[in-house]
């Protein structure tokens, strides 16, 4: 019991060696106060990749990405586990190729729309037009 009280009353947050923290927490059954300070860094993976097993990275190229706010070489974080909703940017299978389009409803019917007026909207759900994944975020690196 005295170990328990001691550990709780005298926290030495950053100086406390890691193994000791674990042992005390294990013995007492209470979380160590030092635990709050362990491993506190910001992890971009945690922020951008919600489900690693279904997340894929792709590099964007093409002539109408400006409308989508993309630039050549930007990296798309594509999540296959998401249910697509209108307004979202998708990676889609069109004619045997994976391309980037925006998912929109036109008169209650689903379409894949282009950022470039030269390309007509494609009705979604044909056999040669399927959703591959939902673009969750985009990474742009500036030259430094």
Min separation Cβ 128 and other proteins, Å = 10
User: DSSP secondary-structure letter at 27?
Assistant: H
Contacting residue, 14, 29, 39, 97, with other proteins by CB under 8 A: 97
Among the listed residues 28, 50, 54, 64, the single catalytic one is 64
The piece of 3-11, 14-22, 40-48, 89-97 that touches other proteins (CB under 8 A) is: 89-97
Structure-block tokens of residue 1: 């019991």
CB 87 within 8 A of CB 104: yes
CB 122 within 8 A of CB 112: yes
Structure-block tokens of residue 126: 């044909």
Within 53-72, the residues that bind other proteins by CB under 8 A are 53-54, 56-65, 68, 70
**Degrees (nearest 5) of the Cα angle 50, 102, 49?**
10
Contacting residue, 7, 76, 124, 134, with other proteins by CB under 8 A: 76
Determine the Cα–Cα distance for residues 77 and 134; give it in Å rounded to an integer: 8
Min separation Cβ 59 and other proteins, Å = 5
Min separation Cβ 19 and other proteins, Å = 21
Among the listed residues 53, 101, 114, 137, the single catalytic one is 101
Contacting residue, 8, 22, 75, 129, with other proteins by CB under 8 A: 75
CB 38 within 8 A of CB 17: no
């Amino acid at each position: 019991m005295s170990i328990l009280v001691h550990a709780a009353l005298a926290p030495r947050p950053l100086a406390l060696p890691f193994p000791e923290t674990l042992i005390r927490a294990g013995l007492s059954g209470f979380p160590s106060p030092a635990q709050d300070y362990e491993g506190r860094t910001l992890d971009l993976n945690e922020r951008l990749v919600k489900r690693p097993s279904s997340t894929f990275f792709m590099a964007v190229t093409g002539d109408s990405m400006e409308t989508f706010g993309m630039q050549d070489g930007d990296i798309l974080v594509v999540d296959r586990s998401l249910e697509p909703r209108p307004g979202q940017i998708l990676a889609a299978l069109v004619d045997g190729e994976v391309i980037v389009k925006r998912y929109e409803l036109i008169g209650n019917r689903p379409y894949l729309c282009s950022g470039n007026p030269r390309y007509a909207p494609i009705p979604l759900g044909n056999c040669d037009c399927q959703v591959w994944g939902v673009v969750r975020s985009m990474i742009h690196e500036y030259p430094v």
